[in-house]
């Protein structure tokens, strides 16, 4: 059944994420919006900060993403920057004295900062990300640059390299389903970077990505070995029990203590496992998205795991009775 999900159902769900009409319909349905709150705690900065308070109380760290991507005009990109600056100012009042590992950070999608604009998109995204990094540094937070589909990878990593010359604490995301990622891990592990390693959530062609679930997992573990052996800071972004179980041995083999890496999971997914790891003394960071542009993020979460889709369908059925 899981194999059918990954080969047939998942690609169909991801295709649905690109249907504009379906997006508009979903956003109008109150039942959909109610279920979305399992994965997205709200639409405002206040909603995000409330989620931060709850997660920090349980001993977990946080990375906050202001939802939005594929911006097509400068004004929207500027509005995204303003939202991040407001968010960082709010986080600044909640940040403890500086520590080696910052408990609060924000995650950025460069396409939300203007990367895809037809005129000077990469330059605009770099300048906007720089503005956000400056504010983060001032308030004592971290920034991680998210990965998007494979067509943006070269541009994204180029911008990350530029930013890291000034902000060496800047993190970025690498996706194990891309065939290029092992080489990217070698580069960034050697440079001492913070790397969030995830499997990948976009529908990529076989020419650039592993499509088989087991191949993606094998690639993940190979990439994680590189990161653990390097001089950077690995961020293990996975809900997969096989990967989570492999981490302690990899850490020991490479002389890493609990402060030398962290687990990362998404808001609303495997909450009990997040708490278990945190209570055992491991560093756990929860990725918390917020904002009105939740549709694409929500659909990718449904496509990742059969359990997420089952939860959504069950909730829809319950609300129809």
Q: What are 151-200's pLDDT values in tens digits? A: 999 999 999 999 999 999 999 999 999 999 999 999 999 999 999 999 99
Residue 239 · residue 197 · CB < 8 Å: no
Say yes or no to pLDDT of 14 above 70.
no
* Residue in 146, 184, 203, 282 annotated catalytic: 146
Can you tell me the distance from the alpha carbon of 128 to that of 244, in angstroms, rounded to the nearest whole number? 35
The predicted pLDDT at position 81 comes to 98
- The terminus-to-terminus CA distance of the chain in angstroms comes to 28
C-alpha torsion sign, points 153, 133, 80, 162: negative
Q: What are 60-114's pLDDT values in tens digits? A: 999 999 998 889 899 999 999 999 999 999 998 888 766 789 999 999 999 999 9
- Confidence band (pLDDT; 50, 70, 90) for 300? confident
Q: 290 φ, ψ to 5°?
A: -150, 165
Active site residue 161: no
Q: What mean pLDDT value characterizes the chain?
A: 88
Strands (E), the chain: 61-66, 104-108, 142-145, 171-175, 194-198, 233-237, 262-266, 284-290
- Confidence band (pLDDT; 50, 70, 90) for 302? confident
Instruction: Give the single-character DSSP code of 233.
Output: E
Active site residue 146: yes
Can you tell me the distance from the alpha carbon of 237 to that of 175, in angstroms, rounded to the nearest whole number? 10
Say yes or no to pLDDT of 296 above 80.
no
* Residue in 10, 164, 194, 196 annotated catalytic: 196
The predicted pLDDT at position 248 comes to 98
Q: What are 121-143's pLDDT values in tens digits? A: 999 999 999 999 999 999 999 99
């Amino acid at each position: 059944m899981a194999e059918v999900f990954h080969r047939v159902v998942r690609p169909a769900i991801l295709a649905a994420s690109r249907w504009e009409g379906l997006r508009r319909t979903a956003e109008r349905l109150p039942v959909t919006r109610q279920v979305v709150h399992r994965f997205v705690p709200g639409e405002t900065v206040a909603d995000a900060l409330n989620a931060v308070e709850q997660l920090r109380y349980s001993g977990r760290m946080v990375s906050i993403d202001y939802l939005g991507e594929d911006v097509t005009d400068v004004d929207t990109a500027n509005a995204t920057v303003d939202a991040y600056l407001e968010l960082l100012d709010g986080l600044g009042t909640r940040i403890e004295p500086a520590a080696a590992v910052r408990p609060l950070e924000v995650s950025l999608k460069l396409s939300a900062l203007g990367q895809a604009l037809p005129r000077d998109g990469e330059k605009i995204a770099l300048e906007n990300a720089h503005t956000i990094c400056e504010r983060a540094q001032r308030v004592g937070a971290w920034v991680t640059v998210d990965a998007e589909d494979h067509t943006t990878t070269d541009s994204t990593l180029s911008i990350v390299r530029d930013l890291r010359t000034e902000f060496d604490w800047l993190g970025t995301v690498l996706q194990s389903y891309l065939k290029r990622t092992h080489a990217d891990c070698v580069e960034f592990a050697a440079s001492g970077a913070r790397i969030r390693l995830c499997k990948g959530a976009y529908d990529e062609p076989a020419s650039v990505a592993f499509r088989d679930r087991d191949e993606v997992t094998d690639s993940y573990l190979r990439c994680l070995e590189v990161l653990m052996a390097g001089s950077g800071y690995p961020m293990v972004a996975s809900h997969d029990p096989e990967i989570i179980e492999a981490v302690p041995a990899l850490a020991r083999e490479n002389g890493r203590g609990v402060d030398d890496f962290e687990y990362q999971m998404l808001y609303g997914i495997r909450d009990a496992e997040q708490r278990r790891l945190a209570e055992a003394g491991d560093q756990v960071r929860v990725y918390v998205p917020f904002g009105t542009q939740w549709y694409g993020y929500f659909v990718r979460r449904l496509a990742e795991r059969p359990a997420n889709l089952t939860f959504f369908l069950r909730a829809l059925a319950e609300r129809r009775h």
